Structure 1
Amino acid sequence: MKKNQVTITDIAKELNVSPSTVSRALHDSPFISEERKREILDFAKKMNYRPNQLALSLLNKRTKILGVIVPEITSYYFSTAINGIQDKVGDFGYKLMISQSNESFEEEIRLMEAMSLVRVDGFLISPSSNTVDFDHIKTIKESGFPLIIFDRDCHGLDVDKVVVDDYSGAFDAVNYLVKTGCKRIAHITGSSNLSTTKHRRQGYLDALLENGLNIQDELIIFGEDSTSETGVDGMKSLFNLEKLPDAVFCYNDAIAIGAMSVIRERDILIPDQISLVGFDDEPYSTYFKPSLTSVWQPVYDLGVLSAKILLDQLNSDIDQNEYRHEILKPELVIRNSSKQL
Structure 2
Amino acid sequence: MKKKKKEVTIYDLARELKYSPSTISRALNNHKSISQKATREIQKAANNMGYRPNSIAASLRNNKSKTIGIMIARINRPFIASLISGVEEAARKAGHNVLISQSNDRYENEINNAKALYDSRICGLIVSLGMETKDTRHFQQFADQNIPIVFVDRVPDSFNSYRVIIDNYAAGYRATKHLIDQGCRRIAHFAGAQHLNVYNLRKKGYLDALRESKLEIDEDLIVDFNTMSSEEGEEATNRLLDMANPPDGLFSSNDTAAVSAILTAKKKGVKVPDEFAVIGFNDDPIASIVEPALSTVSHPAMKMGEISTQRILDHSSENLDTNISEITMLDTEIIVRNSSLKKTVQSSLLHTS
- With normalisation by structure 2, the TM-score equals 0.89
In structure 2, distance between residues paired with 1:149 and 1:204: 24
Instruction: Determine which of 213, 226, 231 is the counterpart of 1:224.
Output: 226
- Matching of residue 254 in structure 1 with residue 256 in structure 2: yes
In structure 2, distance between residues paired with 1:60 and 1:41: 22
Q: What residue in structure 2 maps to residue 66 of structure 1? A: 68
| 235-244 vs 88-97, greater mean Cα deviation | 235-244
In structure 2, distance between residues paired with 1:37 and 1:273: 72
Distance change (3 Å), C-alpha of 1:257 and 1:31: closer
Q: Aligned to 1:109, what secondary structure does the other structure show?
A: helix
- State the 1:110 CA deviation: 0.6
Q: What residue in structure 1 maps to residue 315 of structure 2? A: 313
Q: Aligned to 2:51, what secondary structure does the other structure show?
A: coil
In structure 1, distance between residues paired with 2:293 and 2:33: 69
Q: Aligned to 2:225, what secondary structure does the other structure show?
A: coil
Tell whether the 8 Å contact from 1:167 to 1:200 is kept in structure 2 after alignment. Answer: yes
- State the 1:40 CA deviation: 5.4
- State the 1:33 CA deviation: 7.7
| 257-266 vs 12-21, greater mean Cα deviation | 12-21
Letter in 1 for 2:76: T
Residues matched between the structures, number: 341
- State the 1:54 CA deviation: 3.0
Q: What residue in structure 2 maps to residue 282 of structure 1? A: 284
- State the 1:255 CA deviation: 0.9
Q: What residue in structure 1 maps to residue 194 of structure 2? A: 192
Letter in 1 for 2:191: T
Q: Aligned to 1:326, what secondary structure does the other structure show?
A: strand
- State the 1:276 CA deviation: 1.0
In structure 2, distance between residues paired with 1:176 and 1:63: 48
State the Cα deviation string for residues 60-80 of structure 1 (Å, max 9, x = none). Answer: 443110110100112111000
Letter in 1 for 2:307: L
- State the 1:317 CA deviation: 2.2
- State the 1:258 CA deviation: 1.6
- State the 1:142 CA deviation: 1.9
- State the 1:319 CA deviation: 2.6
State the Cα deviation string for residues 250-273 of structure 1 (Å, max 9, x = none). Answer: 121111122112211221111111
Q: What residue in structure 2 maps to residue 202 of structure 1? A: 204
State the Cα deviation string for residues 142-186 of structure 1 (Å, max 9, x = none). Answer: 232111110102012211111121111111011111112111111
State the Cα deviation string for residues 294-323 of structure 1 (Å, max 9, x = none). Answer: 111111111111111111111112335542
Q: Aligned to 2:339, what secondary structure does the other structure show?
A: coil
- With normalisation by structure 1, the TM-score equals 0.92
- State the 1:49 CA deviation: 3.3
State the Cα deviation string for residues 173-227 of structure 1 (Å, max 9, x = none). Answer: 1111111211111112223332211111111000001112121112212222200
Tell whether the 8 Å contact from 1:70 to 1:99 is kept in structure 2 after alignment. Answer: yes
In structure 2, distance between residues paired with 1:225 and 1:315: 38
Letter in 1 for 2:210: L
In structure 2, distance between residues paired with 1:36 and 1:295: 56
In structure 2, distance between residues paired with 1:239 and 1:281: 24
Matched residues, percent identical?
34
Aligned residues: CA RMSD: 2.3
Q: What residue in structure 1 maps to residue 157 of structure 2? A: 155
Tell whether the 8 Å contact from 2:191 to 2:223 is kept in structure 1 after alignment. Answer: yes
Letter in 1 for 2:49: M
Tell whether the 8 Å contact from 2:143 to 2:323 is kept in structure 1 after alignment. Answer: no
Q: How does 1:27-106 map onto structure 2 within 5 Å?
A: 43-106=45-108
